[in-house]
Amino acid sequence: MRVPRSAVVGSAAIAAVLIGMLVGFPISAAKSATTPAQGQKATPGHGGDHGVDPRIIERGKGTFALYCANCHGFDGVPNLPGTPDFSRGEGLQNIDAALINAIRFGVRSMPGFDQTINKEELIDVVFYIRTLQR
Ligand code: HEC
């Protein structure tokens, strides 16, 4: 028995819709889940904002400009000899807790900022300095 052409086209269309419903949804959901957040650099690893809320980075930038940039440089390239070059990842190898400790209480020739910046500013600036590495 010959199947009418219109029936073949029709069932193909229905199959396409069904497959689209089954496959299309998870694909589009996965896509949106992996789309980089606004302002995030596409390259993973060092540099970029690591998907951190851009408002945190912006606040950290302000704190850094106010209290840190005179020694560390606005772009992380230091103005003061003996200061780690954040743009090259120097001083950033340690985990966040170690950076927080250094910033709060000072480290060797660097003064501490425990009396100067609050906890929120401290966290924001740690996220920010990690974005300076290129
Ligand atoms: C007076 C200059 C000066 C200022 C201001 C300053 N730093 Fe530093 N910072 C240094 C120097 C110098 C070092 C290197 C200390 C050493 O290893 O002897 C350093 C080191 C660091 C390190 C690496 C610590 C480690 O464990 O090696 C971090 C992180 C850091 N600074 C963050 C900051 C942040 C954030 C601010 C602002 C809140 C800031 N610094 C302000 C001079 C400064």
Percent of the chain with pLDDT over 90: 61
**Cβ-contact 73, 120 below 8 angstroms:** no
With H, G, I as helix, E, B as strand and everything else as coil, classify residue 21. Answer: helix
Q: What is the pTM of this model?
A: 0.73
Average pLDDT over residues 35-39: 43
Cβ–Cβ < 8 Å for 64, 125: yes
Q: 122 CB under 6 A from ligand 1?
A: no
Residue owning tokens 């250094």: 102
For residues 121 and 63, the answer to whether their CB atoms sit within 8 Å is yes
Tally of residues, the chain: 134
pLDDT of residue 2: 58
Tell me which residue has its CA closest to atom 16 in ligand 1: 108
Residue of the CA atom closest to atom 27 of ligand 1: 91
State if residue 39 touches ligand 1 by the CB under 6 angstroms criterion: no
Q: Report the pLDDT value the prediction gives residue 47, as an integer from 0 to 100.
A: 65
Domain residue ranges in the chain: 1-35, 54-131
Is pLDDT of 18 > 70? no
The confidence score (pLDDT) of residue 50 equals: 73
Write down the pLDDT at residue 37: 45
Helices and strands (H, E) in the chain, number of each type: 6, 0
pLDDT tier, 52 (very low <50, low <70, confident <90, very high otherwise): confident
pLDDT at position 3 is: 54
* Summary mean pLDDT of the chain: 77
Residue whose CB lies within 8 A of the most ligand 1 atoms, among 71, 101, 114, for a mutation test: 71
Residue 7: pLDDT band (50, 70, 90) is low
- The whole-number pLDDT of residue 103 equals 98
Average pLDDT over residues 11-28: 40
> How does pLDDT run across 86-99, given as a tens digit for each residue?
999 999 999 999 99
**Which fold does the domain 54-131 belong to in CATH?**
Cytochrome Bc1 Complex; Chain D, domain 2 (1.10.760)
